[in-house]
A and B are shown apart, each in its own frame.
Chain A
Amino acid sequence: MKVSYNWLKKYVELTDTPEALANKITLTGLEVDNVRHPAAGLKKIVVGWVKSVREHPNSDHLNICQVDVGEEAPIQIVCGAPNIAAGQKVIVALSGARIADNVKIKKGKLRGAVSNGMICALQEIGFSDAVTPQAYADGIYVLPADAKVGAPVYSYLGMDDAILDIEITPNRADALSMRGVAYEVAAEYGESVHFPEISLQEADKNVADVLSAKVTDEQDAPSYNLRVLENVAVKPSPLWLQRRLWNAGIRPINNVVDVTNLLMLDYGQPLHAFDYAKIGGHTIEVRRAEKDETLTTLDGKVRQLTPEDIVISNGEKALNLAGVMGGLDSEITAKTTTVVLEAAIFDAAHIRKTAQRYNLRSEASSRFEKGVNRATVITALDHAASLIAELGQGSVLKGRVAPTSVTPTPVKVQLTTEKTNQVLGTNLTSAEIKQTFQQLGFATTEKAGTFTVSVPPRRWDIHIAADLIEEVARIYGYEHLPATLPASATPGVLTAKQQLQRRLAATLEANGLDQALSYALTTPEKASAFQLGDSYPTKVSWPLSVDHTTLRMNLISGLLDDLAYNTARKQTNVALYEQGKVFLKADAKTARPKEAAYLAGAMTGDWQAAAWNQEAIPVDFYRIKGLVAAVLADFNLAEAPEYLATTRHQEMHPGRTADILIDNQIIGFVGQIHPRVAKQAHIAATYVFQLDLDHLATLAKKKVQYQPVSRYPAVTRDVALVVDQSVTNAALKVTINAHGGAYLTSVALFDVYAGRHIENGRKSMAYTLTYQNPQATLTDDQVNQAFAKVVAALQDEHGAKIR
């Protein structure tokens, strides 16, 4: 809402500057976005009188004008405007003037003719195209004949005003009107409002003789009121009216339309004017549109209507989209003489839907959507009728056509001093609270600390005590409320799960992975890839983009997107991890997925960049497997993880992927992504892992219990064995552990070798076995015996040849 400071001043006593007023309004109730001074930055722009105009000898469109600007002699200005004529009062930018966009006007020559200034169009002194009257859109502006030659032009054009641009929250639609803002400002300053009296002269002729109306469904238009004016002369509005409109961002059109707009700004009540002659009947009906009914709206577009649209019809066809936009056929034109004026309340939800459906948000529709003051529907209508009659020398027929109407009544709300102070943390007295309501203009009675407040219809946002407490708080001033820290002591601690999530992040970052946050909505293909189990996808029903339609069921796809993004920007050594939700469904029918917390990582390129003292180390399977081990260590699980080679993941390399099992349950996988997938994503060889954090959190933890450190020495034995390539480390370790005896404390692989000196298809595996007795020193004999059993078992179970 663009609020004119000068207009507001007519309703409320104002001593503050526009800026101080804006600050007060912002801190007390409504946010003022900015204060605009239309004349700011302009200089030496005055009224001129065009004494004579002659064609420029060297140009087919320029004219040489002698212009009286109040100096001793007229000045010569070369002007290119097509509508320049002698005798006009015009806007003159003198030499040395500044016009819009900080442009400086200097004396000069145009095709040989001296020009001592510039005759300006409105746009050239800062008017937007949207508010410039059509007649002056492509030429200079002509001021009224009585404008004083040589005087600054600003006051004629309303440019000496200040415009407060107020952002209106949905609850304060009452401030979408000058009167609403006036009440608000008066309350803030403890002033009162003054509105001019309306005097409506009615003719003898009854409106009922020329027009009748009906409303099919009262819900659609709870209040519907018409007046008729005859013998109206449609013409441009006087300048005072135009000024108010363009300062509010509305283009002046003609006196009838301008009055409806002016009073919409004044009361917040949208009004509409029809040409009676073009209605094509004497009946107006408010009804729903028929299926397949069409209407050509004022903007010239043909609209295909639906039964959800409320229309104004002439009994046969739709004339108007009620409350949203008028029809082209019944528009007011210069030829109009009989005017039908409409003031109504339409159902907010329907107006909103209709405005949205046709993308026709207007000043009127947005007011109907948010509600209008029930107390001024009729007032605004009568005011408009009287003003149009005055400006167009017409007569207002007697009475109104009003098939529906509302009786505005104040809402009574109760409030206690105690509750007010309890909510606000204040010690306000009953008198102070009462004072607030007085300032707001709410009639109040008080009995033993309980107020009964009559809220007038102009504040339809107030229904309950909490609403009144807000009024008290803001008029008292939020800045004057005390500030305290909560008194109650409650523990603020992270849960075990939250702590674990932070620990995992720390582990991964300490090991060189950057944390990523990817999009949870992705494509169906990406959502379904890299799944731990089998899940059905969840799709949003009305996506905005094909890239974001389906909720992810894995975290790896997102990370691969990130790797691709980096690779495309020449960032080729990248390791990322993400913690986040995946969305899983056991069947297609379920609408709402289960949300599971996952952790995934992806790495590509070099793990360790080449440096002056070392070679580059590329990422490989064992690097990422080691990371997974570090991550799993953070869980302190009772059972050791098992890595099972798997070919079940289509997107993974069939020979380089392992499912990770704990206690025979799959909790994740690790491996290289399939080269086909990498190629599709335009990324190099990439290794990934993905873990189900929620599942991991449910698994048994190792109990932390101190074990004395043995005082007796440990003894080691190394064994190198040659086995078939197919024999796994895991299988060998099972055998070693099974036959290791009571004192075997650890088994460590220290070499894997295949090649020279080893027959084809075989490999050498070398382990260090460590033995220790916590109670005594082990003898060589004890160790040798235990070691011999292991060696025998390895030969026996795996055909191992000891090297």
Chain B
Amino acid sequence: MTSLQDKLLALKQQGIKDIEKSADLKELNDIRVHLLGKKGPMTEILHGMRDLAKEERPAVGSFANKVRDNLTETLEQRKQELEAAKIEHQLAQEALDVTLPGTPVRSGAHHVIMQITETLEAIFLGMGFQVVSGYEVEEEKYNFEKLNIPKNHPARDMQDTFYINNDILMRTHMSPDEARELEKHDFSQGPLKMISPGRVYRRDTDDATHSHQFFQMEGQYIGKHVTMADLKGTLTFAMRKLFGADREIRFRPSYFPFTEPSVEVDISCFNCDGSGCEVCKQSGWIEVLGAGMTHPNVLKAAGVDPDVYGGFAFGLGIDRFAMLKYGINDIRQFYQNDVRFLRQFKQA
């Protein structure tokens, strides 16, 4: 063992000690520069190689390289340790109270009437119905006459309808759209399947259960082979989609001027499941739809041959559906637009 090797060994031991003691990256770098730099002890020791015998040099040289590698490796290892510690420290500093509220992002609510409307639209679109829309200010003939509601019929009463003049009025139901589509439709292109949701008007004084404006949806399916069984199947499917697959659906006779046979559709009460409660007025059933097979006079009025074509029509109150579904007890709330009301219906 030469004295040079002793020196190298001492240097290594001291170097490793210093490296391990280093507290931060800067200190470590200083150590690196000091140990391995051009003016450092390593260089100095290696200068001493010149004084060695030729045969000693390879062994000492190799020993020196080992020491350098050793120190470099230790430096690198310590560097990684210190870097990791630095990041650790930084992350610790950056820690947040994740329970603080997020920065508010504003988002609006879709009106509950439109939510019900669009849910119904989706159901009927899926069954191949088109969504149409007509006029809120209608001709009397489309609102009444073509729907088999003749002149002296009580439904035409001035009491119940907002007339503009003798022939023009605010539509009282969505049936005019049905009459117009029936008149327009080219049956050589296939059957007519349509729904029509929209705003209707009645000459009613506004209170908790009456509104002079509300929303209805009507629909019809007219073609060559449309049956009352199709009416039952279609409306059962639609009502179960809307009110739940476990609802019982009941069809019973009723009367509307524009259908014959006419049908009233009830669903088993979703509140009490049929045992009787406030919602269903103790009957266990809730009226949800009026429907029926389109009256031959309605078809004739639209220029459609009732011997060849036939089908069904139905109508429902969207406000009523919303009231039933969400337990809303005052129809005026739909049109007052109190944001505390509107924002309750964020998800359909």
Please report A residues at the B interface, Cβ cutoff 8 Å: 26-31, 34, 169-172, 348-349, 352, 356, 369, 422-426, 464-467, 469-470, 473-474, 478-479, 481-495, 498, 502, 505, 508-521, 538-545, 548, 551, 562, 565-566, 569, 571, 574-577, 580-581, 583, 591-593, 595, 607-609, 611-614
Some 20 contacts from A to B, beta carbons below 8 A apart, are A31-B252, A348-B152, A352-B152, A464-B260, A470-B262, A483-B236, A486-B234, A488-B223, A489-B128, A492-B127, A494-B125, A510-B108, A513-B108, A514-B111, A515-B109, A539-B164, A541-B163, A542-B203, A548-B212, A566-B337
Residues of A contacting B137 with CB < 8 Å? 538, 551, 583, 592-593, 595
Besides A515-B109, A539-B164, A595-B135, 7 more A-B contacts (Cβ < 8 Å) are: A470-B253, A486-B226, A488-B193, A493-B130, A540-B164, A591-B167, A607-B106
Is B104 located at the chain interface by the 8 A CB criterion?
A: yes
> Which residues 46-71 in B have Cβ within 8 Å of A in the complex?
none
* A486-B128, A494-B131, A516-B342 known; A356 vs B159 contact (CB < 8 Å): yes
* A540-B162, A575-B108, A576-B337 known; A423 vs B228 contact (CB < 8 Å): yes
Residue of A nearest to B135 (CB): A595
Residues of A contacting B201 with CB < 8 Å? 520-521
Q: Are A571 and B337 in contact (CB under 8 A)?
A: no
Cα distance A16–B253 when bound, in Å? 21
Residue of A nearest to B167 (CB): A591
Q: Are A521 and B114 in contact (CB under 8 A)?
A: no
Residues of A contacting B261 with CB < 8 Å? 466, 469-470, 473-474
Cα distance A30–B110 when bound, in Å? 40
> Which residues 111-150 in B have Cβ within 8 Å of A in the complex?
111, 113-114, 118, 121, 124-131, 135-137, 139
Partner of A487, one of B126, B225, B263, B339: B225
Residues of B contacting A493 with CB < 8 Å? 125, 130
Partner of A517, one of B104, B111, B152, B296: B111
Cα distance A473–B250 when bound, in Å? 14
Q: Are B226 and A352 in contact (CB under 8 A)?
A: no
B118 CB → nearest A CB, Å: 8
Q: Are A574 and B293 in contact (CB under 8 A)?
A: no
Cα distance A773–B209 when bound, in Å? 67
Cα distance A319–B125 when bound, in Å? 62
* A474-B253, A481-B228 known; A512 vs B108 contact (CB < 8 Å): yes
Is B1 located at the chain interface by the 8 A CB criterion?
A: no
Q: Are A541 and B226 in contact (CB under 8 A)?
A: no
Residues of B contacting A566 with CB < 8 Å? 337-339
Q: Are A466 and B260 in contact (CB under 8 A)?
A: yes
Residues of A contacting B90 with CB < 8 Å? none
- Mark B165-200 against chain A: 1 for CB-CB distance below 8 A, else 0: 101101000000000000000000011010000010
B interface, by DSSP: helix, strand, loop or mixed? mixed
Residue of A nearest to B215 (CB): A517
Q: Are A424 and B228 in contact (CB under 8 A)?
A: yes
Cα distance A614–B199 when bound, in Å? 42
Q: Are B335 and A517 in contact (CB under 8 A)?
A: yes
Residue of A nearest to B263 (CB): A478
B222 CB → nearest A CB, Å: 11
Q: Are B336 and A591 in contact (CB under 8 A)?
A: no
Q: Are B227 and A484 in contact (CB under 8 A)?
A: yes
Cα distance A473–B253 when bound, in Å? 9
Cα distance A544–B129 when bound, in Å? 37
Cα distance A469–B101 when bound, in Å? 66
- Complex A-B, nearest 6 residue pairs according to Cβ-Cβ distance, in ascending order: A425-B229, A512-B106, A425-B227, A169-B255, A470-B261, A509-B108
A233 CB → nearest B CB, Å: 42
Q: Are A169 and B162 in contact (CB under 8 A)?
A: no
> Which residues 237-281 in B have Cβ within 8 Å of A in the complex?
237, 250-255, 260-264
Cα distance A465–B299 when bound, in Å? 14
Q: Are A482 and B104 in contact (CB under 8 A)?
A: no
A574 CB → nearest B CB, Å: 6
* A473-B261, A520-B136, A521-B201 known; A483 vs B253 contact (CB < 8 Å): no
Q: Are B254 and A31 in contact (CB under 8 A)?
A: yes
Q: Are B227 and A492 in contact (CB under 8 A)?
A: no
Is B295 located at the chain interface by the 8 A CB criterion?
A: yes
Residues of A contacting B121 with CB < 8 Å? 494
A113 CB → nearest B CB, Å: 43
Residues of A contacting B101 with CB < 8 Å? 611-612
* A170-B255, A548-B212, A571-B340 known; A517 vs B334 contact (CB < 8 Å): yes
Residues of B contacting A542 with CB < 8 Å? 158, 162-163, 203
Of A28, A470, A485, A565, most buried by chain B (CB within 10 Å of CB) is: A470
Q: Are B107 and A169 in contact (CB under 8 A)?
A: no
Residues of A contacting B129 with CB < 8 Å? 490, 492
Partner of B252, one of A26, A349, A571, A613: A26
B88 CB → nearest A CB, Å: 27
Residue of A nearest to B193 (CB): A490
Residues of A contacting B221 with CB < 8 Å? 486
Residue of A nearest to B236 (CB): A483
Please report B residues at the A interface, Cβ cutoff 8 Å: 100-101, 103-104, 106-111, 113-114, 118, 121, 124-131, 135-137, 139, 152, 154, 157-159, 162-165, 167-168, 170, 190-191, 193, 199, 201, 203-206, 212-213, 221, 223, 225-230, 232-234, 236-237, 250-255, 260-264, 282, 293, 295-296, 310, 334-340, 342-343
Q: Are B232 and A482 in contact (CB under 8 A)?
A: yes
Residues of A contacting B199 with CB < 8 Å? 520, 580-581
Residues of B contacting A592 with CB < 8 Å? 137, 139, 164, 168
Q: Are B337 and A562 in contact (CB under 8 A)?
A: yes
Residues of A contacting B204 with CB < 8 Å? 544
B150 CB → nearest A CB, Å: 10
Residues of B contacting A502 with CB < 8 Å? 118
A368 CB → nearest B CB, Å: 13
Cα distance A613–B191 when bound, in Å? 60
Q: Are B250 and A27 in contact (CB under 8 A)?
A: yes
Residues of A contacting B260 with CB < 8 Å? 464, 466-467, 469-470
Cα distance A545–B121 when bound, in Å? 34
Residue of B nearest to A551 (CB): B137
* A511-B106, A520-B136 known; A485 vs B127 contact (CB < 8 Å): yes
Partner of B108, one of A348, A485, A515, A595: A515
B348 CB → nearest A CB, Å: 12
Residues of A contacting B108 with CB < 8 Å? 508-515, 575, 577
Cα distance A499–B185 when bound, in Å? 23
Q: Are B103 and A485 in contact (CB under 8 A)?
A: no
* A543-B162, A575-B108 known; A485 vs B343 contact (CB < 8 Å): no
Partner of B255, one of A172, A505, A514, A544: A172
Residues of B contacting A29 with CB < 8 Å? 253
Q: Are B334 and A540 in contact (CB under 8 A)?
A: no
Residue of B nearest to A489 (CB): B128
* A469-B261, A512-B106, A612-B101 known; A591 vs B250 contact (CB < 8 Å): no
Q: Are A544 and B229 in contact (CB under 8 A)?
A: no
Q: Are B107 and A591 in contact (CB under 8 A)?
A: no
* A470-B262, A521-B212 known; A544 vs B106 contact (CB < 8 Å): no
Q: Are B110 and A581 in contact (CB under 8 A)?
A: no
Cα distance A583–B108 when bound, in Å? 27
Partner of B335, one of A31, A473, A483, A518: A518
Residue of A nearest to B169 (CB): A540
Residues of B contacting A562 with CB < 8 Å? 336-337
Cα distance A614–B252 when bound, in Å? 61
Q: Are A569 and B252 in contact (CB under 8 A)?
A: no
Q: Are B233 and A483 in contact (CB under 8 A)?
A: yes
B287 CB → nearest A CB, Å: 9
Q: Are A611 and B255 in contact (CB under 8 A)?
A: no
Q: Are A591 and B164 in contact (CB under 8 A)?
A: yes
Q: Are A486 and B125 in contact (CB under 8 A)?
A: no
Cα distance A591–B170 when bound, in Å? 12
Residues of B contacting A614 with CB < 8 Å? 103
Q: Are A422 and B227 in contact (CB under 8 A)?
A: yes
Cα distance A349–B150 when bound, in Å? 12
Q: Are A481 and B229 in contact (CB under 8 A)?
A: yes
Cα distance A169–B254 when bound, in Å? 7
